[in-house]
Amino acid sequence: MDAATSSHVLPHVKVSSSNLCNLNRKSSLCTRSKFFTTASSHSNEGERNLDSHSRERSLLSWSSSSDDRSSSTLGGELYNPILKRNSAEKMICSAGVCTFPGSASGSASHVMEERIGVLLLNLGGPETLHDVQPFLFNLFADPDIIRLPRLFRFLQRPLAQLISVLRAPKSKEGYAAIGGGSPLRKITDDQANALKMALEVKEVHANVYVAMRYWRPFTEEAVQQARFTFTLIKRDRITRLVVLPLYPQYSISTTGSSVRVLESIFRKDASLSRLPYSIIQSWYQREGYTKSMANLIEKELQSFSNPNEVMIFFSAHGVPVSYVEDAGDPYRDQMEECIYLIMQELKSRQINNDYTLAYQSRVGPVQWLKPYTDEVLVELGRKGVKSLLAVPVSFVSEHIETLEEIDMEYKELALESGIESWGRVPALGCTSSFITDLADAVIEALPSTKAMLTSTSFSEAVDFDPAGYAIKMFFGSILAFVLLLSPKVILAFRNYML
C-alpha cells in the first residue's frame, strides 16, 4: 500500500462525556432525518461474502433531543450533532471532538479526547513510465488479483514478474498516451483534502489519509508503504478510524484486497489492533452518489443535438467471471443495482433514455464478466445507434481506463462502427455533492467503529503462534543447554586436544 498523507493535527479539545449536548444546529447535516450506509467494523464480514443481505445495513438518524443539552469544558455555545445508531448508541460531537459510548475512554467518569481519522483506500498508479513494470508487478503479485490455488501460491511472485514484464510495453503505451503516468495520486489527494473540508463544514475535524494498494513515489513493498500511513495514524494519535475505499462497488480484487492488507497490518500491531475502526464496504447505493452521477449524465446529455436519442452506455471495469461465480464476489450484483438506481434517479427527472451496461479492461486468457465493452460498441453501431454517452461507473477518478481506453480506443472503435456522436461523462473527482455525501458516509460510520481486539492480553494471545513458539522453545532450550555446559564442554574439548 502506498501512502500519501494529508495530515492536519486535530485541535486538542477535551470534553467531559458528562457535559455533552447542546444542540444548536448550524449545518445542513442536521436537517437529514434518515439515511443508511453500508459500514462494517469487521472486514471478514466483507471480504468474501457481501451480498446485500449479509452486509451490515444500518439505519441511522439524527436526534435533536433537548435532553442532550449541556455545556462543555470549552464553554460557550456548542454544536453537537448526535448520531444515533439505535436508541442505546450515540455519537456526540462537539467542536470536532466526538464521544462514543462503549469506547474504552467513553465512560462518564472519563475526560476524553477523540481524534478522528479517515483512511481513503485506492489502487494507485505509476507516476512515470519507469514505474509501470514495478507497479504491474505489485498488482499481479496480489493473490486477490491473480488467484492461484493454495498449492501453487509459491509461484505468485515469479508469475507476477513474468506477466508484468510481458504486459509492461502495452501498459506503457497507454500511460504514455495520457501524459506519461497515472493522475490517480493527485486526484486522490485532492479528494482527501476536499473530504477534510466537507467534514469541517459539518464540524467534524478529521485527519484524512490516503493509502494506495500498488504504488506510491517510493519503491517500497506494498505492506511497508501501508505501514508508513499507519505510522502517521499512530503519530497523530488517532482514536477512531473510518476506512473508506474509493470504489463505489465492492470487489474482492479492489476493496477486498486493500482491506485484507490493512487488517493483516492491524493484526500484527498491538496499538492498531486496539484502534476502533469501521470499513465502508460499498457506497454505490447512497443517494448522494446516485444523484451526483445522474447530475453528470443529465448535464452531458445536453451537449448532444437530440439528447433523448442518446444511448447511455455504462462501462464498468471487469473482473474474471470466476470471482463472481466461484468466489462469491458481489461486484456484478452491486454494479447492476448501481445502474438501476442511477436510472431510477434519471427517470424521476423524466430522462428515459435507453441504456446498457458492459465491462471493459479485461486482461489475460480467462473469461471476464460479459458483455465486453468493445463487442457491445460494435454491436450497437451495427444496430444503427447513432449517439452514445459513455459513463465510467466503477471508479470515481479519471485514470488510464477513462482517459486512454474509453476516450481513445473505445471512441475510435465506436466511430468506426457507425456511431456518429460520442460523449463521455467525467469521473466524479471532487464534485461537491459527491464529496459532501462521502463526508456524511464517514460520519454515519463513526458509531460502528470497533477495535479488532480490546485488551492487551487478548492482543498478545492472538499474536501467539504455537508452532513458532514450539520451534523457539526447542532451539532456545538447546542453546541454553549448550551455554550452560559450554565451559565444561570447552574444557573437555581442550583436555581432549591437549
Are 310 and 353 in contact, with CB atoms under 8 Å apart? yes
Residue 462, number of CB atoms within 10 A of its CB: 14
Q: Which long-range contacts (CB under 8 A, 24 or more apart) does 57-65 make?
A: 58/85, 58/444, 58/448, 59/34, 60/34, 60/35, 60/36, 60/84, 60/85, 60/444, 60/447, 61/33, 61/34, 61/35, 62/29, 62/30, 62/32, 62/33, 63/90, 64/23, 64/25, 64/30, 65/21, 65/23
Residue closer to ligand L6N33NVT by CB (options 327, 378) is 327
Shortest Cβ 196–ligand L6N33NVT spacing (Å):
22
Least Å from the CB of residue 200 to ligand L6N33NVT: 28
Nearer Cβ to ligand L6N33NVT (123/439): 123
Q: Shortest approach of ligand L6N33NVT to residue 351 CB, angstroms?
A: 25
Phi, psi dihedral angles at 266 (to 5 degrees):
-60, -45
- Closest to ligand L6N33NVT by CB, 46 vs 125, is 125
Cβ nearer to ligand L6N33NVT, comparing 257 with 436: 257
Rg (C-alpha) for the chain, rounded Å, is: 26
Nearer to ligand L6N33NVT, 123 or 208 (CB): 123
**Least distance (Å) from ligand L6N33NVT to the CB of residue 436?**
23
Q: How far is the CB of 134 from ligand L6N33NVT (least distance, A)?
A: 12
β-sheet bridge partners, residue 92: 82, 99
How far apart (Å, rounded) are the C-alpha atoms in residues 102 and 276?
11
Cell numbers of 457, please?
Answer: 492480553
Between 40 and 394, name the residue whose CB sits nearer to ligand L6N33NVT.
Answer: 394
C-beta closer to ligand L6N33NVT: residue 93 or 400: 400
In angstroms, the Cα distances linking 201 to 53, 170, 198, 311 are: 33, 44, 5, 38
Helix 132-140 to helix 156-177 angle (10° resolution) is 140
Give 320 or 381: the residue with its C-beta nearer to ligand L6N33NVT: 320
- Give min distance, CB of 379 to ligand L6N33NVT, in A: 23
The residues binding ligand L6N33NVT (CB under 6 A) are 123, 125, 136, 139, 145, 167, 171, 174, 182, 184, 247, 251, 253-254, 317, 319-320, 361, 363, 394-395, 399-401
CB of 445 to ligand L6N33NVT, least distance (A): 20
Query: In this chain, which residue has its C-beta nearest to ligand L6N33NVT?
Result: 125
Rounded to a whole number of angstroms, the minimum distance from the CB of residue 187 to ligand L6N33NVT is 9
Nearest Cα to Cα of residue 334 among 302, 357, 307: 357
Using the minimum distance from each CB to ligand L6N33NVT, give the nearer residue, 80 or 171. Answer: 171
- Give the separation between CA 181 and CA 130, rounded to whole angstroms: 9
Residue positions counted in the chain: 498
Smallest separation (angstroms) from ligand L6N33NVT to the CB of 116: 27
Q: Which residue bears the cell 452521477?
A: 293
Distant-in-sequence, close-in-space partners of 291: CB < 8 Å, separation ≥ 6: 345, 433
The Cα–Cα gap between 216 and 419 comes to: 39
The cell for 176 is 504514455
